[in-house]
């Protein structure tokens, strides 16, 4: 171990990640070499006093400008998302409405018919709701949970199959 090697390895020596044998080699060298002792002490001191550095402070005028800009942007962003959510909800509502109409009128595609029958038997809530429709009866408001379930039928449709017969 010489001074050059010691300086090269100092970072690992100080952060404690060095393996034991190497550490004891370094200790041996340091105990014999004043320059390396001083080098290590000043290196470590440099590392520690760096915590005194203050990063640049944000100018007050910019801080306030940024604060109100971000409040506006966040509001805009949120409104955009809300608008999208409403559109998506409206779309789903219409889809399910069309689905139920086709169900009442017996126009469901073969896969959808199958999905309807199996889901009606499996899902208690949807089953009760669908049975209450009683074939030709007029539209009823669809509870949200049931709407979610029915909307999923569209996802399960095989590619290329139209959901309803005209």
How many binding residues for other proteins (CB under 8 A)? 47
| Strand partners for 164 | 108
33 to 62: interface string for other proteins, x by CB under 8 A: -xxxxxx-xxxxxxx-xxxxxxxxxxx--x
- In the bound complex, what is the minimum distance in angstroms from residue 77's beta carbon to other proteins? 6
Taking CB under 8 A as the criterion, the residue among 27, 82, 117, 161 binding other proteins is: 82
Nearer to other proteins, 40 or 108 (CB): 40
102-123 core/surface letters (b: 16 or more CB in 10 A; e: else) = bbbeeebbeebeebbeebbeeb
Using the Cα atoms of residue 85, residue 89, residue 91 and residue 92 in order, give the sign of their dihedral.
Answer: positive
Q: Which of 53, 48, 151 is nearest to 96 (CA)?
A: 151
- Residues in contact with other proteins by CB under 8 A are 2-5, 7, 10-12, 15, 34-39, 41-47, 49-59, 62-63, 66-67, 69-71, 73-75, 77-78, 81-82
């Amino acid at each position: 171990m010489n001074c050059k090697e010691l300086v090269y390895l100092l970072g690992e020596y100080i952060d404690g990640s060095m393996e034991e044998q190497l550490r004891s080699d370094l200790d041996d060298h340091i105990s014999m070499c004043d320059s390396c002792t001083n080098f290590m002490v000043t290196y470590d001191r440099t590392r520690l006093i760096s915590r005194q550095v203050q990063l640049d402070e944000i100018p007050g005028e910019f801080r306030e400008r940024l604060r109100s800009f971000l409040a506006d942007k966040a509001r805009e962003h949120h409104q955009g998302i809300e608008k999208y959510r409403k559109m998506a909800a409206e779309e789903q509502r219409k889809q399910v409405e069309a689905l139920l109409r086709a169900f009442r009128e017996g126009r469901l595609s073969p896969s959808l018919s199958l999905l309807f029958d199996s889901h009606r038997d499996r899902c208690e809530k949807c089953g009760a709701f669908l049975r209450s429709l009683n074939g030709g009866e007029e539209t009823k408001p669809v509870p949200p949970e049931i709407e979610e379930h029915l909307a999923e039928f569209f996802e399960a449709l095989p590619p290329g199959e139209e959901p309803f017969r005209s």
